[in-house]
Amino acid sequence: MDQTAPLLQKIVEAHTQLRANQPLVQCITNSVAANYVANVLLACGASPAMIDNPFEAENFTRISSALSINLGTPTTEQMQAMQISANTAQQASVPWVLDPVGYGNILSWRSEMTNELLQYQPSVIRGNASEMSGLAGNQVTGKGVDSTLDSAEVYIQAWTLLDHAECIAISGESDFILSKELNSVIQVNGGCFLQPRVTATGCALGALIAAYCAVTDVTIATLSAHVHFAVAGQLAYQTAQTVGSFNVAFLDALDSLTADQISEYANFSIIHR
């Protein structure tokens, strides 16, 4: 029996619900990514709000459908807002995603904040292989905020992170999603090699996971966001093979993606522990 068929149907349903509900997603993200993240969420059907100061954080998190926290270029006020919003999200049962950009010994200030944020039980932790390996307690020498490891090397190491979240998502040539609910790993293939060459695609993926968490359960949300990105990347490359034109085509593909295209192009498999 094909174990992916029921999941694929749930992905299609989640995609429909995202468009129908247009969930409000609070994004505390980095200065490099903010505009792109907002555009990606709009293209996919969600409603972004980049509320990232401590004076408005609590009230806004309470009315949000989901929260995305990204530590790409943290300021002092952003750090305060992250703590307030994460705490509020936990209290108010608002699903939230933690993206520990640059986690490691070199960028210790943000890394210590990431460790503190784990107490508020994010729904999903997502990042590249080096970030996830470091967060799991391994000594990793990263290249700035870029990964020096392959995602396929890391997903076994990352099991311990399920003590803090329902899902762990590791980005790479193939993406790996660790699901506490399924007690399994889901490998998502597809996408395009140009995606990492477009600024903030990973940051936007984290925000899209949050958006999907507002309309379905955490495992399906995480998988749906990755499939949405992977299929859109494939479709975009069919018409645009250079970085600049691909960037525009990718946004268009995120926006125009249909249920039939998801069913045709989605490529994922379940790897049991």
| Torsions phi, psi for 76 (to 5 deg) | -60, -45
Contact of 185 with 178, CB cutoff 8 Å: yes
DSSP 159-194: GGGGGT-SEEEEESSSEEEEETTTTEEEEE----TT
- In angstroms and rounded to an integer, the radius of gyration of the C-alpha atoms of the chain is 17
Residue 62 annotated as binding site = no
Residue 132 annotated as binding site = no
Instruction: Kindly report, residue by residue over 35-60, the tens digit of the pLDDT.
Output: 999 999 999 999 999 999 999 999 99
On the question of pLDDT at 128 being above 60, the answer is yes
Give which of 262, 190, 185 is closest to 8, Cα–Cα: 262
Q: Which residues of 7-31 are buried (b: 16+ CB within 10 A; e: fewer)?
A: bbebbbebbebbeeebbbbbbbbbe
So what's the pLDDT on residue 105?
Answer: 86
Summary count for the chain: helices (H), strands (E): 11, 9
Contact of 158 with 132, CB cutoff 8 Å: yes
DSSP 117-165: HGGG--SEEEEEHHHHHHHTT-----BTTB--S-HHHHTTGGGGGGGT-
> What's at 262, amino acid-wise?
I
| Torsions phi, psi for 168 (to 5 deg) | -120, 130
So what's the pLDDT on residue 145?
Answer: 47
Residue 171 annotated as binding site = yes
- Going from the C-alpha of 183 to that of each of 154, 190, 249, the distances in angstroms are 16, 23, 36
Q: Which domains does the chain have, with CATH numbers?
A: 4-272 (3.40.1190.20)
Mean pLDDT throughout 176-180?
Answer: 96
Instruction: Kindly report, residue by residue over 69-126, the tens digit of the pLDDT.
Output: 999 999 999 999 999 999 999 999 999 999 999 998 889 999 999 999 999 999 999 9
Q: How far apart are CA 48 and CA 64, in angstroms?
A: 10
So what's the pLDDT on residue 156?
Answer: 84
Mean pLDDT throughout 188-209?
Answer: 94
Q: How far apart are CA 176 and CA 205, in angstroms?
A: 13
Q: Name beta bridge partners: 124.
A: 97, 167
Instruction: Kindly report, residue by residue over 15-26, the tens digit of the pLDDT.
Output: 999 999 999 999
Strands in 184-188's sheet, in edge-to-edge order, are 47-49, 24-28, 66-70, 96-99, 124-128, 167-171, 175-179, 184-188, 268-272
Residue 200 annotated as binding site = yes
